[in-house]
Structure 1
């Protein structure tokens, strides 16, 4: 009963957050396929894909599901911008870089903060003991990903500028290889890659996101799709909530299912799952304001060419004035 009550409460909030107009809904025809952009590292979506739960949820609406995998958030945003997917799930930074590049999308939901699920790590035998000692060092990261902001804020806290390090922009697989052969001094990465390198290589954590970066994750949609397909998005979020509750109620069982799909040991996946909260929620002015802070930081550092207003990509129910105070 508690589970059903949660869904009954969550669904109306999520739909309200997307701010669909009745006139737009009345003439809506359901699409034949919902195309979802995801990363294999997104454990909850990987679990959903494996279980087929969303396909069952959408079947009464006559809608099928196509899962489109991307190596990281920036590439997923490119796919969303060119119309290859309808909905995607990414970290904090990719939407900001994409919006600065002119991508058209709307935020439709977010996952709770997970600051411990991203970190700066060094090899176990590295002489580097603090973030301050990264000055002049090579630091690997996926450009435009959620960890980009973590690195900026961690350096700032340590009294360093971004220009004080040598960023090496590599996707996770290439960064792991460079990290293990000593081609870079540190790596900024998220789970489950973080848990994997800790477990398999003994990587030592210098700084995670606690007190520095919230590490929210966002559900995004092509704006026209969000406006015309509220029933499909409602079904997606209801299923996401159900799968999140099931995952958190038995993390070990979920890890056993997800591990072979991610090519990782169950204990690695289990560790990474404990650092996420899961469960999509409606956008709030406070969360939007945090996203604007990241955008302003990136612009001040010259990481994006022009200032952006996150409010331009928010649902109408999240007031821009409130979000940017």
Structure 2
């Protein structure tokens, strides 16, 4: 994607700051749990040595599911965990002791609703007495819940079939379900095999914000706050590094996730990436402090998750957010 001048200036400032920090501060060790998806700022920072430039020694630990990350974060075996804001907030209502510290991006433009070949849908209410699939407890599940609520569609009138994404693709292609919420690249795979996309999450005003959760006690410590601030600066600088030379980042993505460069570039181009400045802006979906940012998304998540029985109790609300490291990074 192309970045506006304000973001470019912010990223440029991060690059200058990296040069000033290099070699002047003791390195802080951070265990970072990541998912095998093309998170451009992360892999750009890794490929270009930006974590080291900002004084943080990052060990990347691969996870393939949210629950495994939650357990490791709770146990203290990782310091940071990357995933969806909605998923981590719902986990916090079930006892996960963590704080949300950084928004990396919004993947809603690569999320959508597809129908099986030959199906039609004039409104979401038309799913009454039909079947739909999404990964259970995911942001895609919440997209289904939200659309059903807006259409005043009784949840009991829809046969919800909980499937992991690869199985969901097979189900929609084989006509075993009538509709499916999917992410890329599975969205394109389903369409190539006859499914028809009818909704794009971004175009209908939904947000799939993802970023970093930190261990609650760790991020409250001076070292933890400093570490997250350094990681945040490196992620912002990674955006400019990718813009200037995408090759090393794409190679790192393929090495660590198995995703080929052409597909990675397509996903990266359609994802809205966030900078350090975005975290502290007032009118921004990525804001950790403003009324239109993460707090509003948490309210949206809680309302729909309670309605669908995905959580049984309210959580900490905006207190789940810890903007301190981002504010430190933005100074």
Common fold by TM > 0.5: yes
What is the CA–CA distance in structure 2 between the aligned matches of 1:115 and 1:49, rounded to whole Å? 23
Show the counterpart of 1:120: 113
> Deviation of residue 112 (structure 1)?
4.6
**1:194 matched to 2:198:** no
- 2:290 is aligned, of 266, 285, 290, to 285
**1:300 matched to 2:315:** no
Provide closer, same or farther for how the CA distance between residues 303 and 2 of structure 1 changes in structure 2, counting only shifts above 3 A: closer
Q: Is the 8 Å Cα contact of residues 130 and 178 (structure 2) preserved in structure 1?
A: yes
- 1:171 is aligned, of 164, 180, 191, to 164
**Normalised TM-score (structure 1):** 0.77
Q: Is the 8 Å Cα contact of residues 93 and 314 (structure 2) preserved in structure 1?
A: yes
Deviates more, 1:92-101 or 1:309-318: 309-318
What is the CA–CA distance in structure 2 between the aligned matches of 1:186 and 1:72, rounded to whole Å? 23
Show the counterpart of 1:44: 40
Listed one character per residue, the Cα deviations across residues 128-158 of structure 1 (whole Å, up to 9, x for unaligned) are 3343332222222112222122111222333
Show the counterpart of 1:20: none
Q: Is the 8 Å Cα contact of residues 138 and 167 (structure 1) preserved in structure 2?
A: yes
Provide closer, same or farther for how the CA distance between residues 184 and 70 of structure 1 changes in structure 2, counting only shifts above 3 A: farther
> Deviation of residue 88 (structure 1)?
1.5
Show the counterpart of 2:208: 215
Q: Secondary structure at the match of 2:273?
A: coil
Q: Is the 8 Å Cα contact of residues 72 and 145 (structure 1) preserved in structure 2?
A: no
Provide closer, same or farther for how the CA distance between residues 50 and 137 of structure 1 changes in structure 2, counting only shifts above 3 A: farther
Q: How does 1:116-155 map to 2 (within 5 A)?
A: 116-123=109-116, 125-130=117-122, 131-155=124-148
Q: Secondary structure at the match of 2:265?
A: helix
Please report the RMSD computed on the Cα atoms of aligned residues, expressed in angstroms: 3.3
Q: How does 1:46-125 map to 2 (within 5 A)?
A: 47-48=43-44, 51=47, 53-57=49-53, 61=55, 63-123=56-116, 125=117
Q: Secondary structure at the match of 1:285?
A: coil
**Normalised TM-score (structure 2):** 0.75
> Deviation of residue 242 (structure 1)?
1.5
> Deviation of residue 48 (structure 1)?
3.8
Q: Is the 8 Å Cα contact of residues 291 and 310 (structure 1) preserved in structure 2?
A: yes
Q: Secondary structure at the match of 2:92?
A: helix
Listed one character per residue, the Cα deviations across residues 131-186 of structure 1 (whole Å, up to 9, x for unaligned) are 33322222221122221221112223334233322222222233333333333322
Structure 2 portions without partners, runs of 5+: 16-25, 280-287, 326-331
Listed one character per residue, the Cα deviations across residues 74-95 of structure 1 (whole Å, up to 9, x for unaligned) are 4423332232321122123202
Q: How does 1:245-260 map to 2 (within 5 A)?
A: 245-248=240-243, 258=253
Q: Is the 8 Å Cα contact of residues 38 and 45 (structure 1) preserved in structure 2?
A: no
What is the CA–CA distance in structure 2 between the aligned matches of 1:252 and 1:316, rounded to whole Å? 32
Provide closer, same or farther for how the CA distance between residues 162 and 270 of structure 1 changes in structure 2, counting only shifts above 3 A: farther
Listed one character per residue, the Cα deviations across residues 7-46 of structure 1 (whole Å, up to 9, x for unaligned) are 47679xxxxxxxxxxxxxxxxx975x31111111243266
Q: Is the 8 Å Cα contact of residues 92 and 145 (structure 1) preserved in structure 2?
A: no
What is the CA–CA distance in structure 1 between the aligned matches of 2:185 and 2:95, rounded to whole Å? 30
What is the CA–CA distance in structure 2 between the aligned matches of 1:84 and 1:69, rounded to whole Å? 13
What is the CA–CA distance in structure 2 between the aligned matches of 1:172 and 1:86, rounded to whole Å? 27
Provide closer, same or farther for how the CA distance between residues 126 and 152 of structure 1 changes in structure 2, counting only shifts above 3 A: same
Structure 1 portions without partners, runs of 5+: 12-28, 319-325
Provide closer, same or farther for how the CA distance between residues 51 and 255 of structure 1 changes in structure 2, counting only shifts above 3 A: closer
Show the counterpart of 2:198: 206
What is the CA–CA distance in structure 1 between the aligned matches of 2:231 and 2:48, rounded to whole Å? 12
What is the CA–CA distance in structure 2 between the aligned matches of 1:183 and 1:259, rounded to whole Å? 32
> Deviation of residue 204 (structure 1)?
1.9
What is the CA–CA distance in structure 2 between the aligned matches of 1:101 and 1:275, rounded to whole Å? 33
**1:271 matched to 2:266:** yes
